Amino acid sequence: MSERFEQGVAALRRQMDARIVSYFSSCVHCGLCAEACLFYTETGDPKYTPIHKLEPMRKLWRQEYTFWGRLGVKLGLADPLTEQDLADWESLVYDSCTLCGRCSMVCPVGNDIAYMIRKEREGMVAAGYAPDGMKEATRRALEIGSPMGVTLKTLQATLKGVERNTGLTIPVDVQGAEYMTLFSSMEVVNFPEYIESIARIFAAAGVSWTISSEAFEATNSGIQIGDSKAAGELVGRVVSAAEKLGVQYVISPECGHAFTAIRWEGANLIGRPLPFKVIHILELLEQLKEAGRLKLEGQTDIRLTFHDPCQIVRRGGVVEQPRQLLREVAPGFVEMRDHGVMNWCCGGGGGVSANERADPLRLQAFQRKKKQLDELGVETMVTACANCRIILEEGIEHYGMDVQVTGLTELLAEHLAGSAKS
Amino acid sequence: MFLDFVEGPLWYVAAAVFLVGVAWRLAAIARAGLKDDLSVPRTPGTTGAVATVFRRFLPHREFMRPAAFQMVAGYAFHIGLFVLVLFAAPHVEFIEQRILGFGWTPAPHWVFLLAANFAFAGLLLLWLRRMLDPVLRRISTPDDHIGTGLTFVVMFTGCMALFESHDFLRALHMLFVDLLLIYFPFSRLMHAFTFIFSRGFTGATMARKGVSA
């Protein structure tokens, strides 16, 4: 038994909390979770059944928490968990699960399967069985501060462009600002229009905000790969920057897992309550609108739909805000058949987009979103996650579809009173 | 003699294994522990836990179609079994004389027959699916089949013993009941108790996030 494997088993053992033990005790192998998973529905391959992806962890639970398992292993009648199991399951655990949590919504005995996979990944990564793309992203996040290698200089260059386009001064390291904003690397590199949009909206709404030059990255590769130590380190950087600036709120951007990382796992990762409140940009925009500080004008007559980012909506609880905001500017907003907390994932969450090996499978799974869009016949899809956006655009291009994707904050900025384009 | 044994010593052993075993399994969940969630909740976890325990008795509206088979067959089996266990006349009598010291009005014979039909149909449909559906074949373990098989045999011998025409049939039924009780805590049949915990944990976490799970 290799030392690395032992570390993996030890890490897996540490994940066996009351939730995990109750989940394994309750599972009756009904198979319903398969029907909730786009990797199963779009391939028809039973190996993608969500609970099957937990076989290594189930084996450990069985051999340590059940009578027959203990007896079986002692008598040599049952197979114990082996390193080969982890090797065999690596692609199932990482390539075919986006941690979207749709399966967790349908399990009759209430198992939160996404939580179980998140925990199982802790053991996988400790044993060295994680995709290279995700390992690299995590390394870059820890060493450079961004999974995509975005540095402060890159941000500064982007901010210069934002200032040029908006005519506004972007506040950096402003002591005592009310809000500190984070961005995903994807926004800094691919979608600076998001930064422009919040700069315009915040200026119009009189929001006191700042960016920290020490911690501006919102994404957290640690929670995707399943490395709590790395995840805690990354959250810790944001916490210390926010403490230094004395802000009251930290704004999580249009990025799904970034919100989960800081809003729901953040305090638990650093082991103490966060010294500030975390708010998602869509929550803040909705609050500003309700308070009459975000004034919108003009409406688009385009028929459009909203793609729910799983970690913001189903796993994050920001369900109604995007809809209320959209209805303000888009009377032609229509819902996909399964939406809100029962939406279908884009296929690239949970680190799958950072895992090149998974690309063909991800594109196959995208057929689910394609079916949803074909059924609706819309040509514009709004979303609120830069990663979803990239994945959706790739899928749309791959299947030669005629659908435009845009960010919700960006759409709202276009309808800001006084600067509306339509 | 055989009847005395299965309703005497073996029954006591089975009941003891069942009670101690179930308690031990539930204690294992508690012993595993759960760290306090330090995130700031949107709505209280406790009310969410209770709500999800009940809410999961039905699938999400959007999931009704994929879940239709399991829901219909599952309810047929579980409700049928529930009626059989608690309202069959010989069971009420056994519970009154041997367990609780009081009884209640048993179900009329036609209700018993209806419940038995539902229970058998549901169990067999679910079992058939387990053996034929590629997903279920992939994830099923021997335990799933043993649990289903034992339940089936208990129900079957129970029906044979219904008219209490022969002590041997009653004893046979009781033997399998004893075996089922002994097997119960070591098996997936535990879901009859642990579903409250699994649903509750998930409901609490999701309610904290502001999501009805």
Among residues of chain A, what percentage have pLDDT more than 70?
99
Cβ contacts (< 8 Å) between B122 and chain A: which residues?
none
Among residues of chain A, what percentage have pLDDT more than 90?
95
Lowest mean pLDDT among A39-48, A64-73, A304-313, B80-89: A64-73
pLDDT of A347 higher than 70 = yes
Q: Are A130 and A171 in contact (CB under 8 A)?
A: no
Cβ contacts (< 8 Å) between A109 and chain B: which residues?
56, 191, 194-195, 198-199
Structure tokens at A156: 């500064």
> In terms of C-beta density within 10 A (0-12 exposed, 13-18 middle, 19 or more buried), how is residue B41 classed?
middle
Domain ranges of chain B: 2-26+64-207
Tens-place pLDDT, residues A193-233: 999 999 999 999 999 999 999 999 999 999 999 999 999 99
| Interface subset of B 7-66, CB within 8 angstroms of A | 25, 28-30, 32-35, 37-40, 42, 52-53, 56, 59-60, 62-63, 66
Instruction: Work out the minimum CA distance from A67 to partner chain B, whole angstroms.
Output: 6
Domain A3-130 falls under CATH 1.10.1060: yes
Assign domain A134-290 one CATH number from 3.40.50, 1.25.10, 3.30.70, 1.10.3470. 3.40.50
E-strand ranges in A303-372 read 304-306, 333-334
pLDDT of A252 higher than 50 = yes
Tens-place pLDDT, residues B52-74: 999 999 999 989 999 999 999 99
Cβ contacts (< 8 Å) between A27 and chain B: which residues?
188, 191
**Record: fold of B2-26+64-207:** Fumarate Reductase Cytochrome B subunit (1.20.950)
3-state secondary structure of A382: strand
Tens-place pLDDT, residues A138-177: 999 999 999 999 999 999 999 999 999 999 999 999 999 9
For chain A, say whether B78 makes contact (Cβ under 8 Å).
no
Where residue B197 falls among pLDDT bands split at 50, 70, 90? very high
Across all residues in chain B, what is the average pLDDT? Answer: 95
Kindly state the average pLDDT of the residues B3-19.
96
The residue of chain B with its CA nearest to that of A274 is B39
**Record: fold of A304-414:** Rossmann fold (3.40.50)
Can you give the pTM of this predicted structure?
0.96
pLDDT at residue A230 in the model: 98
Tens-place pLDDT, residues B129-166: 999 999 999 999 999 999 999 999 999 999 988 876 78
Mutate to test the interface with A, among B39, B126, B143, B146 (most CBs of A within 10 A): B39
In DSSP terms, A250 is beta-bridged to A180, A278
A3-130 and A134-290: same fold? no
Which residue, A4, A124, A157, is CA-closest to A54?
Answer: A124
Cβ neighbours of residue A322 closer than 8 Å, sequence gap 6 or more: A282, A306, A308, A313, A382, A384, A408
Domain ranges of chain A: 3-130, 134-290, 304-414
Across all residues in chain A, what is the average pLDDT? Answer: 96
Task: Decide if B42 and A317 are in contact by the 8 Å CB cutoff.
Answer: yes
Kindly state the average pLDDT of the residues A260-273.
98
Mutate to test the interface with A, among B138, B141, B148, B189 (most CBs of A within 10 A): B138
pLDDT at residue B97 in the model: 93
Cβ contacts (< 8 Å) between B63 and chain A: which residues?
35-36, 105-106, 342
